[in-house]
Structure 1
Amino acid sequence: MQLKHILLVASLTMTSACSSTKTVVDESLREIELYQVVQKDLNNNNYISAIATLKTMESRYPFGRYATQAQLDLIYANYKNAEPEAAKSAADRFIHLHQQHPNVDYAYYMKGLASFNQDIGLLARFLPLDMTKRDPGAARNSYNEFAQLTSRYPNSIYASDAKKHMIYLRNLLASYEIHVAHYYLTRQAYIAAANRGRYVIEKFQETPSVGDGLAVMIEAYQYLHLNALATTSLKTLQLNYPDHPSLQNNKFTSEITKATNRSWLNQHSLSPIESIPPLPPSHTEGYLMEQL
């Protein structure tokens, strides 16, 4: 790790520690005044203070005029403060309490976003890491949460962005399976490798990793002397992915498959998605701002 990276991480850690000082909320403020403080903090990116004030509102005015909106704001503030578990917990609570609320789709959306960023820790934010090699648990959760949003609320204003995330996540999960298959090849676990390759082809159709799955199957079947299966897989690869790096002059070269640390197409498909930054939930209920 380069020295400048170490210093950057250390500086950010110290900054985070200093910013975690307990926020004192004025006991004399009324509900509307507390909410005005929240909006000011959110606009100034002061999420720690906003969270403290929102929690105070929740305890003092659980059935107040701004109680429901404050719960939405708490989801957003926790997300922006890089506290994914707290954001997901707040979203789950809102969904449980307000299943018929017109902005419940926002809670589902933010829950998906929180899981999407959950496994990106402090180091991953500033150091180059290949996300296709990391534990895909959070990616699976995020995919399922976005899927809930798109299935329950297909006309939601967040559905389009959720679908973009789902495409990215599906490609990511497929690439992870290919990395596992490559590992099995290096360990000479050829049956396990072939099964992983077939799993990608069956479960992740239309992802760029399908070609890699076929290449894994060809190599595994060749080592297992299952020549008929290897030939069938090779013909499929040649027909559908003629430019795959494992094919040289239309002939399969196993060394390229072994050396491929990342899907050849995923180098393009797994670039960061262009997502619309989530708006503060107060923007979903315009009337509140006029009434402040």
Structure 2
Amino acid sequence: MKLKFILIILMSITLSACAGKPKPEQVNPTQTAQGQYQQAKDVLDAGLYNRAIELLKAVESRFPFGPLARQVQLDLIYAYHQAGDLPQALASIDRFIRLNPNQPDLDYVYYMRGLTNLKADENAFQEFFGIDRADRDLSSTRQAFDDFKILLNSYPESKYAADAKQRMVMIKDTLARHELLVADYYLRRGAFLAAANRGKYVVEFYRDSPLIEQALEIMVESYDKLGLDKLKSDTLQVLQLNFPQNSRFR
């Protein structure tokens, strides 16, 4: 009897939980396009991104060529990004750019593509604990840099331009650190030519980076190990000229 009593209590708790769980909003097939879109927008604004995606896709499916079609597509891009479905966000972005090459909202779309590509290379756990992630694969980060560059070049007056410019500075620093981490890896393993080339790449393509001094140091050490005295001497001269306080090579 005691066991039956416990089972009855558990069943009643389960039923109460089910009864108390709010039902997801249903799409009303008789709604107008504006009404159905507003329902989806309210859900999106509430931060319920997965549900918003369902509702927005329903609007897009029912009204594919209506006056709200482009706005629905833009909202879907944002919803996919916020939901963490980055491949689908990028697919939606590329589709929008392909179908709407002259739309005034393209600055926003390129901005979102930059943010999405940047997010693709993030690792939330390691970012949270402050672990340097410059050694990871950065193909998406490089693409993000190109996305923000397109935005700045094509839409310099965009309200997203200032933030895009700041993000490009941050990305350049990350890419420079990545190159130097790889250069140091090569240096420690005796691949001196590869190390020198990585340092040279930083000097050539990230001239305004605070890491130039370290890149020149790697080049000097690598050329020394390779016995390339002329290259070593020239690089050392550049290092001493630009960083007279450098204490590693005097």
Q: Same fold (TM over 0.5)?
A: yes
Aligned to 1:60: 62
Q: Any conservation in 2 of the 1:25–1:56 contact (CA below 8 Å)?
A: no
Aligned to 1:219: 221
Q: CA deviation at 1:42?
A: 2.0
Q: Deviations over 1:7-63 (max 9, x none)?
A: xxxxxxxxxxxxxxxx67424333222211122112211111111111111101101
Q: Any conservation in 2 of the 1:25–1:52 contact (CA below 8 Å)?
A: no
Letter in 1 for 2:83: N
Tell me, in whole angstroms, the C-alpha distance in 1 between the residues paired with 2:124 and 2:38. 31
Tell me, in whole angstroms, the C-alpha distance in 1 between the residues paired with 2:241 and 2:128. 41
Q: Which moved more, 1:160-169 or 1:52-61?
A: 160-169
Q: Deviations over 1:55-106 (max 9, x none)?
A: 1111011012311111111111111112222211111111111122121211
TM-score (norm 1): 0.72
Q: Any conservation in 1 of the 2:196–2:218 contact (CA below 8 Å)?
A: yes
Percent identity between the aligned chains?
Answer: 38
Alignment of 1:101 with 2:103, yes or no, is yes
Tell me, in whole angstroms, the C-alpha distance in 1 between the residues paired with 2:53 and 2:123. 21
Instruction: Say what the alpha-carbon RMSD is for the aligned residues.
Output: 1.9
* Runs of 4+ in structure 1 over 4 Å off: none
Structure 1 residues 226, 111: closer, same or farther in 2, change over 3 A? Answer: same
What secondary structure, in the 3-state scheme, does the structure 2 residue paired with 1:133 have? coil
Letter in 1 for 2:201: Y
Larger Rg belongs to: 2
What secondary structure, in the 3-state scheme, does the structure 2 residue paired with 1:132 have? coil
> Can you give the 5+ residue segments of structure 1 that lack an aligned partner in the other structure?
1-22, 252-292
Tell me, in whole angstroms, the C-alpha distance in 1 between the residues paired with 2:73 and 2:203. 42
Q: Deviations over 1:191-222 (max 9, x none)?
A: 11111111111122111221111010111112
Q: Any conservation in 1 of the 2:60–2:72 contact (CA below 8 Å)?
A: yes
Tell me, in whole angstroms, the C-alpha distance in 1 between the residues paired with 2:86 and 2:245. 40
Aligned to 1:256: none
Q: CA deviation at 1:125?
A: 4.9
Q: Which has the higher contact order (CA 8 A, sep 6+)?
A: 1
Aligned pairs for 1:144-155 within 5 A: 144-155=146-157
Letter in 2 for 1:26: V
Alignment of 1:79 with 2:81, yes or no, is yes
Q: CA deviation at 1:120?
A: 1.5
Aligned to 1:9: none
> Can you give the 5+ residue segments of structure 2 that lack an aligned partner in the other structure?
1-23
What secondary structure, in the 3-state scheme, does the structure 2 residue paired with 1:39 have? helix
Tell me, in whole angstroms, the C-alpha distance in 2 between the residues paired with 1:242 and 1:56. 65
Aligned to 1:166: 168
Tell me, in whole angstroms, the C-alpha distance in 1 between the residues paired with 2:123 and 2:136. 12
Q: Any conservation in 2 of the 1:153–1:159 contact (CA below 8 Å)?
A: yes
Match of 2:243 among 209, 224, 241: 241
Aligned to 2:134: 132
TM-score (norm 2): 0.84
What secondary structure, in the 3-state scheme, does the structure 1 residue paired with 2:134 have? helix
What secondary structure, in the 3-state scheme, does the structure 1 residue paired with 2:57 have? helix
Tell me, in whole angstroms, the C-alpha distance in 2 between the residues paired with 1:56 and 1:72. 14
Tell me, in whole angstroms, the C-alpha distance in 1 between the residues paired with 2:127 and 2:33. 37
Tell me, in whole angstroms, the C-alpha distance in 2 between the residues paired with 1:43 and 1:112. 22
Q: Any conservation in 2 of the 1:31–1:57 contact (CA below 8 Å)?
A: yes
